[in-house]
Amino acid sequence: MSFTTQVKEDLLHIENEEYGIEYAEVLGVLRFAGEVKLGKNLGISFTCNSMGIIRRYIKILKERYELDYSVLSRTISRLDNHVVFTCEISKGADSIIKDYNLLGFEMTEFENEEQKKAFLRGAFLVRGSVNDPNSKSSHLEISYNSDTEILALQRIMNEFDLNARIAKRKNNYIVYIKSKDSIGEFLYLIGASKSMEYYQNIIITKEIKTTAKRTINLDLANQTKTNSAASEQLKNIQYIEYHFDLSKLDNKLLMVMKVRKDNVEASLSELLEIIHEEYDPYLTKSGLNHRFRKLKELVEDDLERKSKNK
């Protein structure tokens, strides 16, 4: 089962008792999947890829209208033999068309946020999809062939600060969300609580793994940097011990040389802790760096002098 199917199965278990909420949800379905059939007798058809969705909305409509309807299915070979279902309503269609203003161009104004959420739920059930949280990219979209409906949908989504955007794909317009947080919020708003919880758990787990990996890589990089600095310091110390009269060196430099030789893998901070405990409690990190730079300068000056005397 795809994640989109999982979300829609989650939504099909929602029960609405308030008429305004049921009305808004059915409106979302009819606006984004319905078609008015004009002629001597008015009719309505709506198409989706789930018989469960058909049952849900026929049940809601039958509570308020006396219906005659039929359900047809067909297989689309270009979509890997995907089955779609079309519900055709004859008797009762004229009343539904009037009550839901299906021949009007203006979008219904909703009275409250719950109705807006229900409208989003209906639109998503028939025209929506969302990537599995385990996939590389985050993407949720609702598609339709009318830019007017898509713009209205975007406006409602962004009233909930979802940062929804619009794009055109072939003959359809899509309103989409890319942010993981916004996708999780959308699932919560339309009532897909179980799917949202699963989605958030996967995202959090992935972020924890990414953070852990980044921390390990940072630690390795820091250790590599520490090892490189220590290696250079040890080379300078070895050169000084071989070419210099140590009795003429400053005791502070000799102390630093000894501590580094005794702790070849220690970082600068670790060396400083050892020095504070055993030698000089007042030495700062910049002071320790200065002494290592002084050792380096001694080596460089000696090499330069010898090069000139050749």
pLDDT at 80: 59
pTM: 0.67
Q: Which residue type does 227 have?
A: N
CB 18 within 8 A of CB 148: no
Structure tokens at 93: 């269609």
Q: Element (H or E) spanning 69, and its range? A: strand 69-76
The residues near 278 (Cβ < 8 Å, ≥ 6 apart) are: 259
> What pLDDT is attached to residue 189?
92
Structure tokens at 162: 């979802």
Distances (CA, A) of 101 to 17, 30, 106: 22, 10, 9
Task: Using the 3D structure, point to which of 128, 159, 191 is the last residue of a domain.
Answer: 191
Tell me the pLDDT tens digit for each residue of 162-186: 999 999 888 889 999 998 889 999 9
- What the block records as the tokens of 109 is 């104004």
Q: Token pair for residue 265?
A: 């893998």
CA distances from 247 to 166, 240, 265 (A): 77, 12, 27
Q: What angle do CA 131, 194, 17 make, to 5 degrees?
A: 115
Answer whether residue 198 is part of any domain.
Answer: no
Please provide residue 133's backbone torsions phi and psi, each rounded to the nearest 5 degrees.
-60, -20
Q: Each residue of 267-297: pLDDT tens digit?
A: 888 888 888 888 888 888 888 888 888 888 8
Domain hosting residue 258, numbered range? 210-309
- The answer on 172 and 230 residing in a single domain is no
Q: Are residues 73 and 125 in the same domain?
A: yes
Q: Count Cβ atoms within 10 A of the Cβ of residue 309 and give its class: 0-12 exposed, 13-18 middle, 19 or more buried.
A: exposed
Does 200 map to a domain? no
* 202 part of a folded domain: no
What pLDDT, on a 0 to 100 scale, did the predictor assign at position 142? 93
Reduce the DSSP state of residue 78 to 3 states and report it: helix
Statement to judge: residues 167 and 235 lie in one domain = no
15 plus 111 within the same structural domain: yes
Tokens of 253: 């430099």
pLDDT at 79 over 60: no
Per the CB < 8 A criterion, the answer to whether 142 and 32 are in contact is: yes
In this prediction, what percent of the chain has a pLDDT beyond 90? 17
**How many domains, the chain?**
2
pLDDT in tens, 82-119: 788 888 888 888 888 888 888 876 667 788 899 999 99
Q: What is the CATH number of the domain that holds 168?
A: 3.10.28.10
Per-residue pLDDT tens over the stretch 138-163: 899 999 888 888 998 999 999 999 99
**Contacts (Cβ under 8 Å, ≥6 apart) of 185:** 160, 162
Same domain, 239 and 165: no
Strand, coil or helix: what is 96?
Answer: helix
Q: Please list the residues that pair with 83 across neighbouring strands.
A: 75
Same domain for 39 and 186, yes or no, is yes
- Residue by residue, DSSP assigns 198-218 as HHHHHHHHHHHHHHHHHHHHH
Statement to judge: residues 95 and 159 lie in one domain: yes
